[in-house]
Amino acid sequence: MDGTSATEQTREGPSASDAVVVTRGLTKRYRGGQLAVDDLCLTVPAGSVFGFLGPNGSGKTTTIRMLMGLIEPTSGTAHVLGRPMPRSARAVLPHVGALIEGPALYGFLSGRDNLLRLDAADPTADPRTGKARVAAALDRVGLTAASGKKARAYSLGMKQRLGLAAALLRPRRLLVLDEPTNGLDPQGMREIRALVRELATDGTTVFLSSHLLDEIEQVCTHVAVMARGRLLTQGPVAELAAGARGRLVVTTPDPADAARVLKEQGLGDVEADGGRVTAEPPARDLAEVNAALVTAGVRVRGFGVERASLEDAFVALTGEGFDVAG
């Protein structure tokens, strides 16, 4: 992947050649006039676990549907595995496993027959190995014991697992998982997240949409943030969290003195709140700041930088909480 020539980068912008998903100016306006996705430029690096974050109604699912060739963009382009969608859907999609807007099953068929049907729908899947692949996929999501039950008797969590199993019927190069832990209990969530990490270790690129910040933070290497159909930012998770910088926190019984010393040391945005004094962390070594405090006779109970969470980053980006877009 890394060996691809630089000339390829000129066509679709930087790093398009080793990106698994590239969209340029992708826009979808529904017939009612509602702008669901607005001028989206997304680049999903190969091998990443790419978190696609945004409140409900921010255009995540519409984007995924465009990537999967289910709906036609109003304008702009989407490339998946280097091929344009939806034009190359039949060549691209056998390499893509997808869970879109929750599982959908044939209630009157058993779990196993549901998977066999989807396997039969894939013209590139070898029908001779179908049963074995279905059994392996069921095993992978822990549904082997329930595979003979009619799907209508499945709980939401089991349906979700079966949907995941469908995405894992064949070795995939890209997995698109839309809210994969919806409806799962905490144990199920942990299992699915472990599965996602495991798949990523195998080299599968995972595109994971979620409205759960901590889920993205736990699992993803990269993240894109959507709100109201627009992309707010994208990049490695660490960078984004660093973008909303952490705070230096000093716990002390002498907050007034501590605040004064921190200001003298040239730290910005100093705030005292009870026994806690916070400030923007300086570029230089924190040990010197600590030494200055102690030298000035400030009694220090705790001293350190509190890392900014993705939530902080999100609030910093949108200037608002994580509510449903109107």
Partner 1 sequence: MSRAETVSVSVRPRPLWTLGLFRDELRTTFRRWRTLALLGVLAAVPVLVGIAVRIETGDGSSGGGGGGPAFVSQITNNGLFLVFTALAATLPFFLPMAVGVIAGDAVAGEAGAGTLRYLLVAPSGRTRLLLTKYATVMVFCLAATLVVAVSALAVGALLFPLGDLTTISGTRITFGEGLLRALLIALVVAASLLGVAALGLFVSTLTNSGIAAMATSVGLLITVQILDQIPQLHALHPYLFSHYWLSFADLMREPVHWDDLTRNLGLQALYAAVFGSAAWARFTTKDVTA
Pairing outcome for strands 35-40 and 83-85: unpaired
Buried b (16+ CB within 10 A) or exposed e, 29-45: eeeeeebbbbebebbbb
Considering only 65, 161, 211, 222, the residue that binds partner 1 (CB under 8 A) is 65
Nearest one of 293, 285, 286, 216 to 260, comparing CA atoms: 293
- 33 lines the binding site for partner 1 (CB under 8 A): no
| Size, binding site for partner 1 by CB under 8 A | 50
Cβ closest to partner 1, residue 7 vs residue 187: 7
Q: For residue 160, report the phi and psi dihedrals to the nearest 5 degrees.
A: -60, -40
Token digits for 178? 């839309």
Cβ closest to partner 1, residue 183 vs residue 282: 183
Residue 208: CB minimum distance to partner 1, A: 16
Pairing outcome for strands 43-45 and 96-99: unpaired
| Helix (H) / strand (E) containing 223 | strand 222-227
- 40 lines the binding site for partner 1 (CB under 8 A): no
Residue 124: CB minimum distance to partner 1, A: 5
Cβ closest to partner 1, residue 11 vs residue 190: 11
Considering only 17, 181, 234, 252, the residue that binds partner 1 (CB under 8 A) is 17
**Cα 278 to the chain's mean position, in Å?**
31
Sheet hosting strand 276-279, strand order edge to edge: 271-273, 276-279, 247-251, 302-306
Residue 240: CB minimum distance to partner 1, A: 27
- 276 lines the binding site for partner 1 (CB under 8 A): no
Subset of 88-147 contacting partner 1 (CB under 8 A)? 88-96, 98, 100-102, 104-106, 108-109, 116-124, 126-127
Q: Which residues bind partner 1 (CB under 8 A)?
A: 4-5, 7-8, 11-12, 16-18, 65, 68-72, 81-83, 88-96, 98, 100-102, 104-106, 108-109, 116-124, 126-127, 163, 166, 173
